[in-house]
Amino acid sequence: MRADLRLAWLLTRGSDRREWWRVGLTAVGAALATGFALTAVVLASLDGYNSVPLAHGLLNGQGERSGVVFSLALLLVPVLGFLGQSARIGAVHRDRRLAGLRLAGAAPWQVRRIAALETGLACLLGSALATAVAVPVLLSLWTSPTALAWAGIALVALGVPALGAAAAALALRQVVASPLGWVRRVRTAQRPGRVFLVVTGLLVALVALILLTSVFDRPRRFSPVPPVIVALTLLVGAAAVSLTGWSSGLLGRVLAVRAQRPALLIAAERLRDDPWAAARTHAAVLLVTVVGTGFVGVRQVLLADVHAMSRVGRLGMNMAFYTTGLALTAAAILVALGIILSALAVGTAESLATRRRALAVQNAAGVPRGVLARALFLETALPLVPAVVVAGAGGMAIGAWYASITTEYTTPDVPYVSLLVPFAVYACCLLAAATSLPLLHRSVRPAELRYV
What pLDDT digit, counting tens, does each position of 36-58 carry?
A: 888 888 888 887 767 776 766 67
Nearest to 325, CA basis, from 36, 141, 34, 54 = 54
Name the band, by pLDDT with cuts 50, 70 and 90, for residue 316: low
Instruction: Confirm if 52 and 138 have CB atoms less than 8 A apart.
Output: no
Cα-based angle 7, 8, 14 (whole degrees, multiple of 5): 90
Print burial letters for 113-127: b (CB count within 10 Å at least 16), e (below 16). bbbbbbbbbbbbbbb
Which residues touch 192 (CB under 8 Å, ≥6 apart)? 241, 242, 245, 276, 279
Is this prediction's pTM over 0.85?
Answer: no
In this model, does residue 183 exceed pLDDT 90? Answer: no
In three-state secondary structure terms, 10 is: helix
What is the domain partition of the chain in residue ranges? 2-185, 194-451
Cα(433)–Cα(443) distance, integer angstroms:
15
Averaging pLDDT over each range in 179-183, 247-251, 388-392, 409-413, which range is the top one? Answer: 388-392
CB 123 within 8 A of CB 164: yes
What ranges in 142-224 are assigned the alpha helix state H?
147-171, 194-216
Length of the chain: 452
Exposure on the CB side of residue 411, measured as CA atoms within 13 A: 0
pLDDT mean over 99-111: 73
Q: What is the mean pLDDT of the chain?
A: 76
Winning range, highest mean pLDDT, from 54-63, 354-363, 412-421: 354-363
pLDDT in tens, 202-212: 666 666 665 55
Long-range CB contacts (< 8 A, 24+ apart) of 149-155? Answer: 149/41, 149/42, 149/45, 152/38, 152/41, 152/42, 152/44, 152/45, 153/38, 153/41, 153/42, 155/41
Residue 362's pLDDT is what? 83
Burial class (CB in 10 A: 0-12, 13-18, 19+), 329: middle
Coil, strand, or helix at residue 184?
strand
Q: Which is more confidently placed, 403 or 239?
A: 239
Q: Is residue 180 very low, low, confident or very high in pLDDT (cuts 50, 70, 90)? A: low
Q: How confident is the model at residue 184 (pLDDT cuts 50, 70, 90)?
A: very low
**252-269: b or e for each residue (b if 16 or more CB lie within 10 Å)?**
beebbeebeebbbbbbbe
What does 337-377 look like in DSSP terms, one character per residue? Answer: HHHHHHHHHHHHHHHHHHTHHHHHHHHHTT--HHHHHHHHH
Say whether 335 sits in a helix, a strand or coil: helix
In percent, how much of the chain has pLDDT > 90?
3
Task: Identify the CA nearest to 55 among candidates 330, 314, 323.
Answer: 323
Higher pLDDT, 228 or 386: 386
Per-residue pLDDT at 219: 47
Does position 433 have pLDDT exceeding 80, yes or no? yes
> How many Å is the Cα radius of gyration of the chain?
25
More confident residue, 21 or 358: 358
- Give which of 262, 244, 246 is closest to 380, Cα–Cα: 244
Mean pLDDT of 168-196: 54
CA–CA distance, 357 with 92 (Å, rounded to integer)? 12
> Predicted confidence band at 185 (pLDDT cuts at 50, 70, 90)?
very low
From residue 258, give the alpha-carbon distance in Å to each of 248, 254, 268, 370, 379.
Answer: 15, 6, 10, 21, 16
The secondary structure element, H or E, covering residue 426 is: helix 420-434
Quote the pLDDT of residue 325: 78
Q: How far is CA 301 from CA 202, 232, 309, 317, 398, in A?
A: 31, 20, 12, 18, 13
Beta strands 176-177 and 184-185: pairing type? antiparallel
- One-letter identity of residue 239: A
Q: Which tops the pLDDT comparison, 237 or 1?
A: 237
436 pLDDT band, cuts 50/70/90, is: confident
More confident residue, 156 or 259: 156
Stretch 148-155: mean pLDDT = 89
Hey, which residues does 173 pair with through a beta bridge?
A: none
What value does the mean pLDDT take over residues 385-399?
87
Alpha-carbon distance 244 to 249, whole Å? Answer: 9
The per-residue pLDDT for range 122-147, each reduced to its tens digit, is 888 899 999 999 888 888 878 778 88
